[in-house]
Amino acid sequence: MINGFQKGALSSRLGIPMIYRIDAVHGHNNVYNATIFPHNVGLGATRDPELVRRIGSATALEARATGIPYVFAPCIAVCRDPRWGRCYESYSEDHKIVQEMTEIIPGLQGDIPANSQKGAPYVGGNKKVAACAKHFVGDGGTSKGINEYDTVIDQQELLSIHMPAYSDSIIKGVSTVMISYFSWNGKKMHANRDLITDFLRAPLNLRYHFIHFYLISKLVKVMVLINYKEFINDPINLVKNNVVPMDRTDDATGRILLVKFTMGLSENPLADFSLVHELGSQDHRDLAREAVRKFVVLLKNGKNGNITDLVIPLPKKVSKILVVGSHADNLGYQCGGWTIAWQGFSGNNYTIGSTIFGATKSAVDSSTEVIYSENPDGNFVKSNNFAYAIVVVGEHPFTETARDSPNLTMAEPGPIISNVCESVKCIVILITGRPIVIEPYISSIDALVVVWLLGSEGQGITDVLFRDHGFSGKLPRTWFKTVNQLPMNVGDSHYDPLFPSGFGLETESVKELVTR
């Protein structure tokens, strides 16, 4: 498909190749059989920039395997309110963690040469892609976490919390910057000349940096894919009528051409079919599995929290294990939004990977019976003499405004926690893109684990549950007690969390125990 588009562009009067882009925000997530990496909130829990860099490299290879040279990633928003529908696309509420995770940019694009000009775009060959830092700037701070709304903060807070990751991205040679849909103190960011032109381009030395205005349609009410003729004709008419001066058009065109030249599109405009084997390769799946086990956060281990009643690590050899919950055997739910479809999907038929139920069956002893029931009643649980139950619940996949949530409750059947945990020792696993309300259930839970939106490799979860690897993940954001506390971030005067940002119980792996 993309080669067909490109051949059309090359056959035009000037023969200038087009840039085809895709939202590869957690791996090459739109394509069947690609490796689906964890969403950014989980990667923030790893505190491992080098891991994120490697994920960037793998994502670049998988995108190039389908002929795509440009990705709309990374999102470097600093989410300050988990009610925001895109909060899972943010690495952390802490801008310092977000800054560290900009290391994904050299993973995607390659390392800039030592003599490279600051602020100039860079793409290191046809196994790398152009990256896009988004969404400039402050979109993670909107009032009440409402998507595309208004961030009401002073300039000092904007520059100290939301801006630093952009400076770091530019230093690392990011090829494009996407402007946000939101407003800052009532003014639409797309129309904010002070920040975009006077601040972003001039002081940060972006003379040669292409600023990508994503869908100017938000201002002119034209959707590109639906009304593409209007989208093309409107800017032409604005130029013809001198509303947009020709030097502004030349400036934008020059930036776009520079990025195209930097990407090497003139030399290699078509897909390189020798990279096809990179899509969903075992090396990349192993990397995704490593990321999962590094970001899993253990919030509770034992009802009383003392060393005598620890639940994890779980024994592999028991008579029967019960696995329950809407998210236990649903690949779409564990991948979240921006997976195959814009809003994600439900079920196991749209891409390839391992669910937590499937991973559990693979991890335990061959003599152990693993029974799955999505929503069992209390009598079933009591009458079957299970050694323990693994309860997997959380949020359903959504993206953007559809995921804005004023109450942050888990999807039904959330109350399954009560049904199961009253009858058998239970380990509750939360699949979520942000902290959600768990206070009503926490006293009945024996062990509590948050696995974020983990992607396609569920075996990373069982790696830590059964102690093949230790728990090391730390909360990338504050876990509130009630939504009435929001927004609440580290340093706030009303800071009173259920679990503070940075919290996470650690365990040792079997290998570490043997060594010790």
Distance CA(336)–CA(344), nearest Å, equals: 6
Distance CA(511)–CA(516), nearest Å, equals: 9
Q: How distant, in Å, are the alpha carbons of 217, 262, 446, 504 from that of 295? A: 37, 34, 20, 10
- Phi and psi torsions of 204, nearest 5°: -90, 10
Closest CA to 323 of 279, 369, 256: 369
Range of 110-119, 174-183, 422-431 with top mean pLDDT: 422-431
- Say if residue 128 is exposed, middle or buried (CB neighbours under 10 Å; 0-12, 13-18, 19+): buried
Closest CA to 169 of 219, 70, 236, 103: 103
Confidence at residue 206, expressed as pLDDT on a 0 to 100 scale: 55
Supply 407's token pair: 């109450």
pLDDT band at 65 (very low <50, low <70, confident <90, very high): very high
Distance CA(72)–CA(25), nearest Å, equals: 7
CA angle 226, 60, 132 (to 5 degrees): 55
Q: Which residues pair with 150 in a beta bridge?
A: 183
Supply 457's token pair: 């490799």
Distance CA(389)–CA(371), nearest Å, equals: 9
Percent of the chain exceeding pLDDT 70 equals: 95
Average pLDDT, the chain: 92
First to last CA, the chain: 56
Supply 481's token pair: 């007690």
Q: How distant, in Å, are the alpha carbons of 59, 113, 456, 461 from that of 288? A: 11, 28, 8, 11
Distance CA(238)–CA(236), nearest Å, equals: 5
Strand order from edge to edge, sheet including 150-151? 150-151, 183-184, 187-188
Supply 311's token pair: 């639940």
Confidence at residue 229, expressed as pLDDT on a 0 to 100 scale: 84
Q: Span 354-382, mean pLDDT?
A: 96
Contact present, 158 and 137 (Cβ < 8 Å): yes
Confidence at residue 305, expressed as pLDDT on a 0 to 100 scale: 67
What is the sign, positive or negative, of the torsion defined by CA atoms of 304, 308, 314, 317?
Answer: negative
Q: Which residues pair with 183 in a beta bridge?
A: 150, 188
CA angle 8, 9, 10 (to 5 degrees): 90
| Amino acid (one-letter) located at 429 | I
- 138-172 tens-digit pLDDT: 999 999 999 999 999 999 999 999 999 999 999 99
Least confident of 83-97, 148-162, 230-244, 265-279: 230-244
Contact present, 180 and 137 (Cβ < 8 Å): yes
Confidence at residue 139, expressed as pLDDT on a 0 to 100 scale: 96
pTM (2 d.p.): 0.95
**Beta strand 210-212 pairing with 150-151:** unpaired
Confidence at residue 224, expressed as pLDDT on a 0 to 100 scale: 58
Buried b (16+ CB within 10 A) or exposed e, 149-167: bbbebeeeebeebbbbbbe
- Phi and psi torsions of 391, nearest 5°: -105, 120
What is the sign, positive or negative, of the torsion defined by CA atoms of 349, 327, 297, 388?
Answer: negative
What is the sign, positive or negative, of the torsion defined by CA atoms of 401, 407, 413, 416?
Answer: positive
Confidence at residue 303, expressed as pLDDT on a 0 to 100 scale: 86
- All structural domains of the chain: 17-278 (3.20.20.300), 296-515 (3.40.50.1700)
Closest CA to 260 of 507, 1, 14: 14
pLDDT band at 414 (very low <50, low <70, confident <90, very high): confident
Confidence at residue 60, expressed as pLDDT on a 0 to 100 scale: 98
Confidence at residue 352, expressed as pLDDT on a 0 to 100 scale: 97
Judged against a pLDDT cut of 60, whether residue 497 lies above it is answered with yes
- 213-263 tens-digit pLDDT: 433 334 444 545 677 788 788 889 999 999 989 998 888 888 888 889 999
Q: State the Rg of the chain over Cα.
A: 24
Contact present, 56 and 62 (Cβ < 8 Å): no
What DSSP element (H or E) covers 134?
strand 132-136
Q: How distant, in Å, are the alpha carbons of 108, 298, 349, 408, 429 from that of 289? A: 19, 17, 20, 28, 17
Confidence at residue 220, expressed as pLDDT on a 0 to 100 scale: 40
Distance CA(89)–CA(78), nearest Å, equals: 9
Judged against a pLDDT cut of 60, whether residue 99 lies above it is answered with yes
Judged against a pLDDT cut of 90, whether residue 348 lies above it is answered with yes
- 111-134 tens-digit pLDDT: 999 888 777 889 999 999 999 999
- 328-342 tens-digit pLDDT: 999 999 999 999 999
Tally of CB atoms within 10 A around 461: 27
